[in-house]
A and B are shown apart, each in its own frame.
Chain A
Amino acid sequence: MLLFLLAAGLSLMFGLMGIVNLAHGSYFMVGAYVGLSILEATGSFLLALLAAAASGALLGFLTERFFMRRLYGLRHHEPILLTFALSLILSDFSLFLWTGTPRWVQTPSLLAFCVNIVGSPYPTYRLALILVGIIVFFVLYWFQEKTRWGAMVRAGVDDKEMATGFGINIPMVFTTVFCLGAFLAGFGGFIGAPILGVHIGLDIEIIMLALAVVIVGGIGSLPGCLATCLLLGLADTFGKVLWPDFASLTIYVILVIVLLVRPSGLFGKGR
């Protein structure tokens, strides 16, 4: 579910702008770090969460405004390399500010207990995460399908030039989507922190998974993204139980198979 928050933003950006944003994992990590600092300073989980998401959005805004905007219309590899460079910088920046010690965020006391589901205990915090993921999915879905803004975004995804022709301010839409995606990443980074921890290198781990989800699910497709998160999550868990030695492979093997059999993704539009 956590992955969904991240991948949804990435997928949206990818679909709309044709940009693979490798700095997306960095928003996730920096969001987690900012949230952690605010939590330590104020003690308020909610405030920390807001700050984390806001820091993600801010980074996204800066990335789009100062770097990506210069590169629209170029071939794929320049944005990829640029965002990769950005992620390197952000990673070292985090190392500088927060040092390399792995940190943990305490689960908020309100949710720090377990409930029994079908006889086995399950931490409430994880349940809450699943709930948040579902809510975000519906909000995004509603935003994309039912609102005027969503229509503009979809128009941008389908045909940039035509949308511009209808008087839609595409650069504006781009900035918004970028911020939204980064907002979700920062948000996800912090609410994921009690489970994943916060450490340098988190950015790379998470971006690889998110990319896999986006590709397998189909670029720009929200339901695809959600379904794939569930699929890959399940596959990963089963993989760990069934063949522990090869568990780290499971997701990438699925990625390879999907790329070869159906490159547009499970839920992608056919080519």
Chain B
Amino acid sequence: MARMRITTWKILLYVLLGIVLVLLVPLSPRHILTLATSIIIFSIYVSSANLLTGYTGLISLGQAMFWGSSAYMVAILTTRGIVENFYLVALMSVMAVIVISASFGALAVKVKGLYFLILTFAFGHVLWCVAMYPIQSITFGYDGIKGVVRPDLLLPWSMKNNLNFYYFVLVVAAVCFFMLHLIIRSPFGHVLVGIRDNEHRMVALGYNTFLYKYISYILSAIIAGVGGILYAYFNCYVNPSELHWLWSGDALMMMFIGGIGTFWGPVFGALVYTGLRYWVSAYTMYWFGIEGIIFILVVLFFRGGIAGSLMKIQKRLSYGGVED
């Protein structure tokens, strides 16, 4: 009984989420629509980090590297008129991310724990420094790249319309989340969780853990890259801070607020974090201080984040259901 009740609840929640996303958000004022678009893009980004950190157990400070490089790819390709076709641009950006993640990943995945964190940070920082100084003529250094034009999808709807773009982002996000769902539920995903929980055991069981971690790293990079592509088109601008390691830190923050290692946690995290930042920034310039305070509260008292706390409540409720 209890189990059935929870599944019905779940379906109801999904339907509700669908209604809000597809119908209610588009009806809301314009600034809410833009906010919602960025929240959805961030959800993709945070979920990508979650695949690596939450499910595989590798904490990375290099996620911005992939987001940033694909965003820069989009900006460079389109503003210089090298490639106009959206699908080709997206494909090339994803290819760039694959090349970068495959080459850095081969080195990074070899080290463990804290060293992985610092190594990914160092890689990210090296890339950032390269983008800022030596190849300044291409990336325009600290100025970022302006003048990205919304994509032409070769569909009847113009992406210059914010509502249409919102739906486009929603569809891409749905595809990403579906892919993530498939990855996590697959035998491959279960091996990743096994590596997170006890890598030695997985080695003993005969798994090539390096390969699994490596693939997880690349997959996570690709999804982060998709986020970067969308964001570049969304803002029509690439900000250099999107390549900086603090941007990776943001992903970790959102993930921890939302609930690490849970499927919907990153979405909650992106929602709360981005929403709060939007709301708080209107009143005070001290957003970082407030963010810090929220974060300390999460680390000290709600270690599972929002999703973790919800799951605890749900568990309590379902036990109550059994007793009925």
Q: How far is the CB of B60 from chain A (nearest CB, A)?
A: 11
Task: Name the residue on A nearest B297 (C-beta).
Answer: A85
Query: Do residues B286 and A252 form an inter-chain contact, with CB atoms below 8 A?
Result: no
- Binary interface encoding of chain B residues 110-138 relative to chain A, with 1 for a CB under 8 A from any of its CBs, else 0: 11011101110011011001101110000
Query: Do residues A93 and B249 form an inter-chain contact, with CB atoms below 8 A?
Result: no
A46: Cβ under 8 A from any B Cβ: no
Footprint of A on B, CB under 8 Å?
A: 59, 107, 110-111, 113-115, 117-119, 122-123, 125-126, 129-130, 132-134, 246, 249, 252-253, 256, 285-289, 291-293, 295-296, 299-300, 303
Q: Which of A225-259 contact B (CB under 8 A)?
A: 245-249, 252-253, 255-256, 259
A71-B296 Cα distance, complex, nearest whole Å:
12
Report the stretch among A74-82, A102-110, A171-179 that lies at the interface. A74-82
Task: Name the residue on A nearest B256 (C-beta).
Answer: A81
Question: 3 closest pairs, A vs B, by CB?
Answer: A92-B289, A88-B292, A89-B292
Q: How far is the CB of A255 from chain B (nearest CB, A)?
A: 5
Q: How far is the CB of A202 from chain B (nearest CB, A)?
A: 15
Task: Name the residue on B nearest A244 (C-beta).
Answer: B133
**Interface of A: prevailing SS:** helix
Beyond A88-B289, A89-B292, 15 additional contacts (C-beta under 8 Å) are A76-B59, A81-B256, A81-B295, A84-B295, A88-B288, A89-B293, A245-B134, A248-B132, A248-B133, A249-B130, A252-B125, A255-B118, A260-B110, A260-B119, A263-B115
Q: How far is the CB of A245 from chain B (nearest CB, A)?
A: 4
Task: Name the residue on A nearest B294 (C-beta).
Answer: A85
Query: Do residues B289 and A259 form an inter-chain contact, with CB atoms below 8 A?
Result: no
Query: Do residues A256 and B123 form an inter-chain contact, with CB atoms below 8 A?
Result: yes
Query: Do residues A211 and B118 form an inter-chain contact, with CB atoms below 8 A?
Result: yes
Query: Do residues A253 and B126 form an inter-chain contact, with CB atoms below 8 A?
Result: yes
A245-B114 Cα distance, complex, nearest whole Å:
30
Query: Do residues B299 and A76 form an inter-chain contact, with CB atoms below 8 A?
Result: no
Known: A76-B113, A88-B288, A93-B289. A256 touches B299 (CB 8 A): no
Query: Do residues B249 and A84 form an inter-chain contact, with CB atoms below 8 A?
Result: yes
Q: What are 18 A-B pairs at a CB distance below 8 A?
A: A76-B114, A77-B117, A81-B295, A82-B296, A84-B295, A85-B292, A85-B295, A89-B296, A96-B286, A215-B115, A246-B129, A248-B129, A252-B126, A252-B129, A256-B123, A256-B126, A259-B115, A263-B111
Task: Name the residue on A nearest B290 (C-beta).
Answer: A92
List chain B residues, Cβ under 8 A from A245. 133-134
A68-B184 Cα distance, complex, nearest whole Å:
33
A89-B286 Cα distance, complex, nearest whole Å:
9
List chain A residues, Cβ under 8 A from B133. 245-248
Query: Do residues A78 and B288 form an inter-chain contact, with CB atoms below 8 A?
Result: no
From B122, B249, B291, B295, give the contact of A259 (CB < 8 A). Answer: B122
Interface size on A, residues (CB 8 A): 38
Q: How far is the CB of B275 from chain A (nearest CB, A)?
A: 18
A74-B32 Cα distance, complex, nearest whole Å:
39
Footprint of B on A, CB under 8 Å?
A: 20, 67, 70-71, 76-78, 80-82, 84-89, 91-93, 95-96, 204, 208, 211-212, 215, 245-249, 252-253, 255-256, 259-260, 263
Query: Do residues B289 and A89 form an inter-chain contact, with CB atoms below 8 A?
Result: yes
Q: How far is the CB of A165 from chain B (nearest CB, A)?
A: 26
List chain B residues, Cβ under 8 A from A95. 285-286
Known: A67-B296, A84-B249, A249-B130. A92 touches B288 (CB 8 A): yes
Task: Name the residue on B nearest A248 (C-beta).
Answer: B129
List chain A residues, Cβ under 8 A from B59. 76-77
Query: Do residues A92 and B292 form an inter-chain contact, with CB atoms below 8 A?
Result: yes
A208-B117 Cα distance, complex, nearest whole Å:
13
Task: Name the residue on A nearest B285 (C-beta).
Answer: A95
List chain A residues, Cβ under 8 A from B285. 95
A252-B191 Cα distance, complex, nearest whole Å:
33
List chain B residues, Cβ under 8 A from A71. 299
A212-B118 Cα distance, complex, nearest whole Å:
9
Query: Do residues B256 and A67 form an inter-chain contact, with CB atoms below 8 A?
Result: no
Q: How far is the CB of A250 from chain B (nearest CB, A)?
A: 9
List chain B residues, Cβ under 8 A from A204. 246
List chain B residues, Cβ under 8 A from A67. 296, 300
Query: Do residues B123 and A80 form an inter-chain contact, with CB atoms below 8 A?
Result: no
Task: Name the residue on A nearest B299 (C-beta).
Answer: A82
List chain B residues, Cβ under 8 A from A88. 288-289, 291-292, 295
Q: How far is the CB of A145 from chain B (nearest CB, A)?
A: 26
A252-B117 Cα distance, complex, nearest whole Å:
14
Query: Do residues B296 and A259 form an inter-chain contact, with CB atoms below 8 A?
Result: no
List chain A residues, Cβ under 8 A from B303. 78
From A76, A85, A248, give the contact of B291 (CB < 8 A). Answer: A85
Task: Name the residue on B nearest A94 (C-beta).
Answer: B289
Task: Name the residue on A nearest B293 (C-beta).
Answer: A89
A101-B249 Cα distance, complex, nearest whole Å:
26
A211-B292 Cα distance, complex, nearest whole Å:
21
A20-B116 Cα distance, complex, nearest whole Å:
13
Indicate the member of A70, A92, A93, A246 with the most B CB atoms within 10 Å: A92
A199-B34 Cα distance, complex, nearest whole Å:
34
Q: How far is the CB of A268 from chain B (nearest CB, A)?
A: 11
